[in-house]
Amino acid sequence: MEANVKAALPSWDRIAGNWKQFSGKARERWGELTDDDISVIDGRREQLVGKIQERYGIITDQAERQVADWLNDLDDAKRRH
């Protein structure tokens, strides 16, 4: 991903620091994630990618793309408010 695109996305640090808030949004997006998955993820992007891979049977690149799309959606929602 290009640097200017990354700069436009919400900071993962913000998501990690507010994981309790964002975990509900993650559960909405990926309904197959369990409460235990959410607990294990604990705001860590690589754990989220891994659990998405595991639950949905997809490759890392696809899971990474889904997380990037989720970040874009969060950013779009933030801009609308």
Which pLDDT does position 10 carry in this prediction? 58
pTM of the predicted protein model: 0.83
Question: Is residue 1, in this structure, part of any structural domain at all?
Answer: no
CA distances from 43 to 3, 38, 39 (A): 22, 8, 9
Query: Can you give the residue range of the structural domain that contains 44?
Result: 31-81
Question: Is residue 18, in this structure, part of any structural domain at all?
Answer: no
Question: Is residue 26, in this structure, part of any structural domain at all?
Answer: no
End-to-end CA distance of the chain: 26
Which pLDDT does position 79 carry in this prediction? 77
Q: Whose CA is closest to 75, among 24, 12, 20?
A: 12
Tens of pLDDT, residue by residue over 30-62, are 999 999 999 999 999 999 999 999 999 999 999
**DSSP letter (8 states) at residue 1:** -
Question: Is residue 66, in this structure, part of any structural domain at all?
Answer: yes
Q: What angle do CA 57, 43, 49 make, to 5 degrees?
A: 20
Whole-number average pLDDT of the chain: 88
Which pLDDT does position 33 carry in this prediction? 98
Structurally, the chain folds into a number of domains equal to 1
